[in-house]
Amino acid sequence: MRIIGGEYRSRVLTEFAGENVRPTSDRAREALFNILGVKVRGARVLDLFAGSGALGIESLSRGAAEAVFNDFSKDSVAIVKKNLTSLKLGVNGDKAKVFNFDYSVFLDGSCGKFDLIFIDPPYAEAYGERALEKIAQKGLLTENGIAVYERDRAFEGEVEGLEKFDERKYGKAYLTFFRRRL
């Protein structure tokens, strides 16, 4: 897996081995960041189910002011830290902060508001829907903030307080975009 664009373009990231791991494909990541465009520059970003940290690191590479990484897996947190260190971004500094909590516990904490929130949980669980509900309830998106939910099927239904405004399919992955309902 490599960084698609920005300052760290073409740098290779450490990723997980094994068949149970499903990182966002390079194609889907490139499309995602093309859609987000200038919204990334200067943004405060949350990579909620961080895995290798690819989405948050891609954001930093493209000019995000800060990326916050969270994952319940200690192995994921170790890989995120390794990737940040290899890019000389530092861990728990001004630009990157790494946490090892259950997503619900993290969202219940005082983590502040975000311009971009990436939600890429294990497909087999309903963590993403519950995370979106909590993000809306806690008001964790800034006024023009966007939450992007990756899953293996189209998003059905509603999330109180959020508006689904776009959805795209890349291979097996669906990227669904939400903003605050005004």
The string of pLDDT tens digits covering residues 100-109 is: 999 999 999 9
pTM: 0.94
**Percent helix, percent strand, percent coil in the chain, to nearest 5:** 30, 25, 45
Of 168 and 92, the one with more pLDDT: 168
The string of pLDDT tens digits covering residues 38-82 is: 999 999 999 999 999 999 999 999 999 999 999 999 999 999 999
Mean pLDDT of the chain: 92
pLDDT at site 75 = 94
Nearest-angstrom CA–CA distance, 45 and 49: 12
Question: What domains lie within the chain, and their CATH numbers?
Answer: 27-180 (3.40.50.150)
Q: Measured on CA atoms in the order 79, 85, 86, 87, is the torsion positive or negative?
A: positive
